[in-house]
Structure 1
Amino acid sequence: MPAVTELHAEFVRTPDAGSLSRLLKESWALVEEQQDKLASYFYARMFLSNPQLRDLFPVQMDVQRARLLGAIVTAVQSVDDPDRLDEYLTALGRDHRKFHVTPEQYDVVGAALMEALRTFAGDEWAPEYDQAWRDAYGAIAGIMIKGAENDADNPPYWHAEVLFHERRGRDIAVLTVRPLQPLEFRAGQYFSLECKHQPRLWRVYSAANAPRKDGSIDFHVRAVGAGWVSSALVRKVKPGEMLRLAAPMGSMVLDRRSTRDIVCVAGGTGLAPIKALIEELTRYNRTRWVHVFYGARDRDDLYDLPALNRLANSYPWLSVVPACSEDFEFQGEQGNLNEVVARYGPWQDHDFFVSGSPGMVRNTLRTLAEMQVPAMRIKYDAFGDL
């Protein structure tokens, strides 16, 4: 595989990456307010030009409609950070093997994207915008295809048997699954997951444990609103059923070279990857203090607090601070999680891991910036619009 800088150079026929980034962001601003309509048009053109692609997508397109387009836009707008972009796109290419996407189909996607952008930008679309998006998408597709090719020794997805299914309250379940084939991952990473109750509808969930000798993986799932997959995982899936897991993704992993103390901020089922990181730390950590802030609306949503407290009792370097934002009789901390974290600062010399809803992550990142925590020391995976 070419070096990142070589791949990155393929993005541009403009003088530098800064110019390309500017052109991409300027042109996206022309259509941003119409992105929902643009996404619908994008998929319509793609399916019209290649009807076979429709079979790769779920019947219900409400959520999916923005996913592929969103990934493309995220990538092109991250062009000025080639290292992170290369890592993201390589993982995305591996993940898309679950759809059995061929290199030729990337061309169809690119053509539909360009047509959608031109259509919704109208007369304001300029030739230099067209070239910038062509160059960017060409490099994006190239990195994703290479990522998929380099993963050819692995299956496109893993079949995994549900071993245990435990309800934790009204709308939360903890599932333990075991892949039928070896599946390597790192604590803090996440998987796309599909169940038989909602075929072709994949959703991402973080592993809630570090890798185990028996290969089993825990997932924490909350049934949310009209969430097709989350509701099925909480209310329908039973032990003995099979799930499908795509390749692991995510960079919210521990850096063993760091000697800084750690702060983990977990909201709701965002606890899953944090718990995985703690489990990994129990295997080797002796010198780093680890502070966990675990928040929810009310005490019933602190579904795994007893397990966290047991860990804290076993490992002197671990402390746990629970908080509720809407349960005023709760004996622990009160308020939004970012506010609670701020009360215990300063934190400028710590490594941070943040996991939870998009709103919770966004608020925490803003608070940490105000507290002058360097961005390079904050790790999180965004599953929504931050």
Structure 2
Amino acid sequence: MGNLSRLLKESWTLVEEQQDKVAGYFYARMFLSNPHLRTLFPVHMDVQRARLLGAIVTAIQTLDDPERFEDYLRALGRDHRKFHVQPEHYDVVRDALLESLRTFAGEHWGVEYEQAWSDAYNVIAKKMMAGADADTNPPFWHAEVLSHERRSRDIAVFTLRPLQHTLEYRAGQYVSVEAPRYQPRLWRTYSMANAPRPDGTLDFHVRALGAGWVSSALVRRVKPGDLLRIAAPMGSMTLDRKSTRDIVCVAGGTGLAPIRALIEELTRYNRTRWVHVFFGAKDREDLYDLDELNRLAARHPWLSVVPACSDDKSFTGEQGNINDVVARFGPWENHDFFVSGSALMVKHTLRTLAEMQVPAVRIKYDAFGDI
């Protein structure tokens, strides 16, 4: 994979600064040659274009990590069943992708680059199709909104109950969510905020992000009784029960959701591992679940909670960005870490942990964006 990876990354630099144009051209070619595929995609394509390129780049980057490459792509194949993707669609995508890259790379595009992308895509498609074929679950679950609570100006906490059989997942994982009544065919990823329960219910913490189509609907429009759709679970930010090391959880904003799920799982069996939770936000209002965290800490002596605000001088707790707060409480090199939040928050935290000499193999994270 070494030479293939080099060729892919080298050729990507030829078009990287034109990502939006490449993506736009790609979709135009695909829809012109296969107009019926347009119905599989949302009406608003702006975000979808960016997500396509992000998925391609992520797949390229995983080529250097065979195990992650395998797991990531099989999970991606399972997840894409929600789009009703069929095996023949993979050829259409490959042809449109190669034509787009060839067009925007211009005279610098060569036979080696063409073959590298074709070979890499065929590997990706094969693994995605294998993941989809092996999945015995439905493409997605219909789920009823049981409760919906606004916790701040732009944060909501709500609970869903799948109408089909129980969704099987592990604490710390995430799913794609669609609100078909408000934004059909638009899917966004959100982490479950609870460990699996006997009744199958799922909690979610969502922040409305600017003009975000789905997040705004989930926070401001969804109400009890509405039906949402949720796709297959993904993500590897899960607990290793064999580890005996103490745990540090670092959460920014609604990145607290998977951390809450991990804590809930730990309350069921943990007796020996200290768990330190650092919960950061801009202001006190955005520490939307702090009271419940404190109640959990009061019930479980092994759990401690350190809240922090970066832009609220009136807050009486820790001040500063959460990665800097974590550093002040170190050293942490003998702990397992779980990091969840915005792409920027995760990036800063990973850099801080590297400076503190925390081994990368002990850090788990999922960031829905480029870090």
TM-score, reference length from structure 2:
0.98
Determine which of 157, 162, 184 is the counterpart of 2:140: 157
- Report matched runs for 1:107-146 at 5 Å: 107-146=91-130
Q: Does residue 331 of structure 1 match 2:307?
A: no
What's the offset of the Cα at 1:49? 1.3
- SS, match of residue 46 in structure 2: coil
Partner of 1:200: 185
Q: Does residue 378 of structure 1 match 2:345?
A: no
- Report matched runs for 1:250-269 at 5 Å: 250-269=235-254
Give identity over the alignment, percent: 77
- SS, match of residue 13 in structure 2: helix
Alpha-carbon distance in structure 2 between the residues aligned to 1:167 and 1:302: 13
Partner of 2:209: 224
Q: Does residue 177 of structure 1 match 2:160?
A: yes
Partner of 1:294: 279
What's the offset of the Cα at 1:77? 2.2
What's the offset of the Cα at 1:319? 0.5
CA RMSD of aligned residues (A): 0.8
Partner of 2:6: 22
Partner of 1:102: 86
Tell me which moved more, 52-61 or 68-77: 68-77
- SS, match of residue 175 in structure 2: strand
Determine which of 334, 338, 354 is the counterpart of 1:353: 338
- Report matched runs for 1:67-106 at 5 Å: 67-106=51-90
Alpha-carbon distance in structure 1 between the residues aligned to 2:293 and 2:223: 26
Q: Does residue 215 of structure 1 match 2:200?
A: yes
Offset from partner CA, 1:271-305 (integer Å, 9 cap, x none): 00000000000011111111000000000000000
The one-letter code matched in structure 1 to 2:191 is: S
- Report matched runs for 1:8-47 at 5 Å: 17-47=1-31
What's the offset of the Cα at 1:376? 1.0
| Unaligned stretches of 5+ residues in structure 1 | 1-16
The one-letter code matched in structure 1 to 2:148 is: H
The one-letter code matched in structure 2 to 1:40 is: G
Alpha-carbon distance in structure 1 between the residues aligned to 2:361 and 2:14: 31
Q: Does the 8 Å CA contact 1:39/1:65 hold for their aligned counterparts?
A: yes
Partner of 1:362: 347
- SS, match of residue 71 in structure 1: helix
**Number of matched residues?**
369
Alpha-carbon distance in structure 2 between the residues aligned to 1:259 and 1:245: 34
Partner of 2:40: 56
Q: Does the 8 Å CA contact 1:308/1:320 hold for their aligned counterparts?
A: yes
Q: Does residue 322 of structure 1 match 2:322?
A: no
Alpha-carbon distance in structure 1 between the residues aligned to 2:253 and 2:38: 35
Q: Does the 8 Å CA contact 2:19/2:53 hold for their aligned counterparts?
A: no
What's the offset of the Cα at 1:48? 1.1
The one-letter code matched in structure 1 to 2:360 is: A
The one-letter code matched in structure 2 to 1:161 is: E
Q: Does the 8 Å CA contact 1:76/1:137 hold for their aligned counterparts?
A: no
Alpha-carbon distance in structure 2 between the residues aligned to 1:143 and 1:94: 10
| Unaligned stretches of 5+ residues in structure 2 | none
Q: Does the 8 Å CA contact 1:24/1:77 hold for their aligned counterparts?
A: no
Q: Does the 8 Å CA contact 2:23/2:52 hold for their aligned counterparts?
A: no
Q: Does residue 270 of structure 1 match 2:223?
A: no
- SS, match of residue 316 in structure 2: coil
The one-letter code matched in structure 2 to 1:112 is: A
The one-letter code matched in structure 2 to 1:204 is: T
Runs of 4+ in structure 1 off by over 4 angstroms are none
Alpha-carbon distance in structure 2 between the residues aligned to 1:52 and 1:67: 21
Q: Does the 8 Å CA contact 2:23/2:50 hold for their aligned counterparts?
A: yes
The one-letter code matched in structure 2 to 1:235 is: R
The one-letter code matched in structure 1 to 2:340 is: S
Alpha-carbon distance in structure 1 between the residues aligned to 2:278 and 2:174: 20
The one-letter code matched in structure 1 to 2:159 is: T
Alpha-carbon distance in structure 2 between the residues aligned to 1:238 and 1:96: 27
- SS, match of residue 232 in structure 1: helix
What's the offset of the Cα at 1:73? 2.0
Alpha-carbon distance in structure 2 between the residues aligned to 1:281 and 1:224: 31
